[in-house]
């Protein structure tokens, strides 16, 4: 009966000391071993006004109730994430930016806190609207490995739809590697607990690979920048997805100087003539790989672009025979082109024209199999010394 009467006491947990109110509450025995405040919770409310003290007390009371409940029971992470997203939407629909209770109490002025409380008058104490406005839905604690799954499945799903299966696989693998490095160096920790020190540890790892204190590096600055960029983007997009675009990014402004941005030098003309186009130089390559290699040296197209051409973009009967390098927009068989400037028409002359006369439907063996194509061609070129030294 005593506890029930306490719950209805308008001044419950309020104590007046030195003219100012304090919040003082006993920690339940059941969770005392889990709450580092041990026996009592004590908070100075910094007000001598009883009405304001009651309002702020209600916030602390609700926060403690939620904390102690969470210490005693667990909740499915996906369910927590869904509740959290709904809370954000409800808070915004009622004219408030959603914040967890702890952030409301530390970041907002008392006047705004009072406005939040006043807007809940007339709502049931356990209603979703009250939870949303008073920040009672906790931010989901996804570990970075889980955040990457959310990133792939929810955040960038629309971006991936225009990529071919192989493009999607390679795109995901690069970001997975960045996260794997983070986990190996730091740990698989919750996103909200990642610190600048954690980010600096990853930056130091790549710095030591790019510019070791002694000897040459085994990784380029562009590799380090790409990996730091992957983590920076994951962090910012994840919190923007949750409704916190202002979340400070621990990976911000961590990059490497890349002054050696050079495109791969082209094969010298005499090398192409005397080595690659020499009789029998490509004879041991299979017919499609040989055709792609010959078209590559003649047109300058990327091997992956050539491998993914199809009958509809190979124009042998036009006044000027040519190929069209363009995205595949078929939703059943999509493929992206690397950059907008890469969309182009390429005239076919000489050896390249002869290649496409033999392969008017393209190279189905290597469609969306760029890795296998590169492996086959590189192996042959190295074995037969066809790369310029």
If asked whether residues 80 and 105 sit together in one domain, one would say: yes
pLDDT at 84: 45
Whole-number percent of the chain with pLDDT over 70: 74
- Does position 110 have pLDDT exceeding 80, yes or no? no
The residue out of 133, 168, 198 marking a domain boundary is: 133
Place of tokens 């986990």: 183
- Which has more pLDDT, 282 or 131? 282
Residue 320 — pLDDT band, cuts 50, 70, 90?
A: very high
Q: Are residues 235 and 319 in the same domain?
A: no
Average pLDDT of the chain to the nearest whole number: 80
Of 133, 167, 201, the last residue of a domain is 133
Give dist(CA 158, CA 225) in Å, integer. Answer: 25
Domain contains 262: no
CA–CA distance, 111 with 124 (Å, rounded to integer)? 23
The number of folded domains in the chain is 3
286 and 370 share one domain:
yes
Q: Is the dihedral of CA 136, 139, 140, 143 positive or negative?
A: negative
Examine the domain organization and report whether 68 and 159 are in the same domain.
no
| 124 class by beta-carbon count within 10 Å (0-12 exposed, 13-18 middle, 19+ buried) | exposed
C-beta of residue 306 within 8 angstroms of C-beta of residue 296: yes
Q: Could you tell me which residues are beta bridge partners of residue 346? A: 323
Average of per-residue pLDDT across 42-54: 82
pLDDT of residue 258: 81
CA angle, 364 then 367 then 368, to 5°: 160
Per residue in 369-381, pLDDT tens? Answer: 888 999 999 999 9
pLDDT of residue 130: 47
Could you tell me if residue 350 is inside a domain? yes
- Which of the four pLDDT bands, split at 50, 70 and 90, describes residue 361? very high
- Residues 193-241 have pLDDT tens digits of 999 999 999 999 999 999 998 888 889 999 999 999 999 999 999 988 8
Task: Give burial (CB, 10 Å; 0-12/13-18/19+) of 295.
Answer: buried
Condensed to tens digits (0 to 9), the pLDDT of residues 62-84 reads: 656 655 665 555 544 455 445 54
Q: Describe the strand order of the beta sheet including 14-17 as a list of residue ranges.
A: 14-17, 20-26, 40-44
Whether 247 maps to a domain, the answer reads no
Burial of 21 (0-12, 13-18, 19+ CB in 10 A): buried
Give the pLDDT confidence of 83-102 residue by residue, as tens digits.
Answer: 545 554 555 544 544 555 55
Is residue 251 included in any domain, yes or no?
no
230 shares its domain with 277: no
pLDDT at 326 over 80: yes
CA 218 to CA 212: how far, in whole Å?
9
The answer to whether residue 257 is domain-embedded is no
Domain co-membership, 129 together with 149: no
Average pLDDT over residues 278-307: 91
Q: Which of 73, 104, 133 is the last residue of a domain?
A: 133
- Tokens 């002054």, residue located: 259
Those residues with Cβ within 8 angstroms of residue 131's Cβ, 6 or more apart along the chain or in another chain: 87, 90, 137
Residues 14 and 108 in one domain: yes
Q: 78 and 28 share a domain?
A: yes
Taken as a whole, the chain contains a residue count of 389
Strands 14-17 and 20-26: antiparallel
The verdict on residue 337 lying in a domain is: yes
Q: Which domain holds residue 306?
A: 269-383
**81 and 118 share one domain:** yes
Q: Are residues 309 and 346 in the same domain?
A: yes
Across the range 381-388, mean pLDDT stands at 88
Rounded CA-CA distance 228/340 in Å is 25
The whole-angstrom separation of Cα 162 and Cα 159 is 7
Asked if residue 254 belongs to a domain, the reply is: no
Q: Is the pLDDT of residue 4 over 50?
A: no
Residue 322's beta-bridge partner residues?
315, 347
pLDDT at 358 over 90: yes
CA distance 173 to 53: 54
pLDDT in tens, 9-42: 788 999 988 888 998 998 888 767 766 667 888 8
């Amino acid at each position: 009966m005593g506890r029930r009467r306490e719950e209805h006491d308008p001044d419950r947990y309020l104590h007046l000391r030195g003219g100012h109110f304090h919040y003082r509450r006993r920690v339940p025995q059941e969770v005392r071993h889990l709450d580092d405040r041990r026996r009592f919770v004590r908070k100075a409310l910094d007000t001598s006004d009883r009405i304001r003290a009651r309002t702020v007390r209600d916030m602390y009371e609700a926060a403690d109730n939620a904390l102690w409940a969470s210490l005693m029971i667990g909740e499915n992470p996906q369910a927590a994430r869904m509740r959290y997203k709904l809370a954000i939407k409800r808070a915004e629909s009622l004219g408030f930016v959603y914040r967890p209770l702890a952030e409301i109490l530390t970041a907002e002025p008392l006047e705004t806190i009072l406005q939040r409380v006043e807007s809940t008058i007339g709502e049931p104490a356990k209603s979703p609207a009250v939870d949303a406005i008073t920040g009672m839905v906790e931010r989901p604690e996804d570990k970075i490995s889980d955040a990457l799954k959310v990133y792939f499945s929810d955040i960038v799903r629309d971006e991936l739809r225009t990529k071919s299966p192989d493009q999607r696989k390679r795109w995901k693998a690069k970001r997975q590697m960045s996260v794997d490095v983070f986990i190996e160096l730091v740990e698989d920790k919750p996103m909200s607990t990642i610190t600048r020190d954690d980010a600096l540890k990853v930056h130091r790892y790549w710095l030591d690979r790019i510019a070791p204190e002694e000897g040459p590096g085994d990784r380029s600055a562009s590799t380090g920048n790409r990996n730091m960029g992957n983590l920076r983007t994951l962090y910012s997009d994840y919190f923007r997805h949750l409704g916190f675009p202002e979340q400070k990014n621990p990976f911000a402004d961590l990059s490497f100087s890349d002054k050696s941005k050079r495109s791969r030098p082209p094969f010298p003309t005499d090398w192409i003539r005397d080595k690659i186009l020499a009789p029998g130089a490509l004879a041991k390559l299979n017919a499609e790989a040989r055709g792609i290699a010959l078209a590559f040296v003649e047109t300058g197209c990327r091997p992956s672009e050539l491998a993914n051409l199809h009958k509809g973009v190979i124009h042998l009967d036009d006044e000027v025979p040519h190929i069209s390098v363009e995205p595949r927009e078929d939703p059943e068989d999509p493929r992206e082109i690397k950059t907008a400037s890469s969309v182009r028409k390429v005239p076919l002359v000489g050896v390249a024209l002869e290649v496409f006369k033999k392969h008017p439907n393209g190279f189905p063996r290597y469609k969306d199999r760029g890795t296998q194509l590169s492996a086959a061609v590189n192996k042959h070129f190295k074995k037969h010394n066809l790369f310029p030294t």
